[in-house]
Amino acid sequence: MTIRYDDKVAIVTGAGHGLGRSHALELAKRGAKVVVNDLGGAKDGTGASSEAARSVVAEIEAAGGEAIANGANVADYTEVESMVQQTMDQWGRVDILVNNAGILRDKSFHKGSLEDFRLVIDVHLMGTVNCTRAVWEIMREQNYGRIVVTTSSSGLYGNFGQSNYGAAKMGVIGMMNTLVQEGAKYNIRVNALAPTAGTRMTEGLLPEKAFELLTPETVTPAVLYLVSENAPNRTILAAGAGAFAVARIVETEGMWLPPEEQTPEAIAAHWERISERGGERELTAGFEQSTKMVSQAAAGMGIKLD
């Protein structure tokens, strides 16, 4: 069955170039009305121009689709609110939000400035917060919403020189995990994309042949799936070069230590069992960790929990 977005309205941030452009074009090709948001700055966040967003809108319209351009800075909530209001004035709803906008200020932690750190957090994390907050009530009221946050292997696994970027990209995962719970009763599903693509943000960081394989177009199918009507929920979908995988945060089963052994020395002595991966599992809410540990303690102490 072909996945389409007829009568759906999508906002794609950072859609003037690279991944965002690809996402916007394909959503429109499959029937969505698209807000092409792009501040039009350089990859480090400096400058602004609406030319790139208008160019993507022109491509969509030339192919018979509907789109509007918007130059809101996602780090400015007032501008984001205006973008969402423009969308509502134009089409009366917002069904899909793809949080894609981003910048880079790569430097090793001891060399990077706090100003750069804050700026990257503001764009990637707070930009995602701002855009999601601005559409959240709309999606709740219409009882439908599909939101994608863009994470990164730098956040999930670390990457030298990207402590600021990695912190922001892991932050959106924490946000996703809670919004999944809060949005469930309103048919709002929230997922994360972990892309690997050859864009202006990765140019020069990858061998040329690898760069050629990692086109934005090989990542976009993952977004199309994550914002579809039958999308999963609370999923981190990694994509690049036409390969797709799911990343998960898991916790080992661990063990309970009796009071006399609740010491760092005992943890060291039992480390092999505490860190054993055989029984690890994915928890889906914070309280599950508490429940697991209290249950282990109760069993160890012979206490019956009501």
Q: Which candidate in 144, 165, 186, 225 is catalytic?
A: 165
Instruction: Report which secondary-structure segment, H or E, holds 51.
Output: helix 51-62
165 in active site: yes
Nearest to 97 by CA among 41, 31, 180, 27: 27
Bridge-partner residues for 149, per DSSP? 99, 192
Q: From CA 213, how far away is CA 208, in angstroms rounded?
A: 9
Kindly report the backbone phi and psi dihedral angles of residue 150, in degrees, each rounded to the nearest multiple of 5, phi listed first.
Answer: -105, 115
Find the Cα–Cα–Cα–Cα dihedral 271, 275, 277, 279, rounded to 10°: 90
Q: From CA 284, how far away is CA 226, in angstroms rounded?
A: 18
Q: From CA 131, how far away is CA 10, in angstroms rounded?
A: 12
Q: From CA 202, how far away is CA 234, in angstroms rounded?
A: 27
Segments in 69-162 forming alpha helices (H) = 77-91, 114-120, 127-142, 153-156
Catalytic annotation, residues = 165
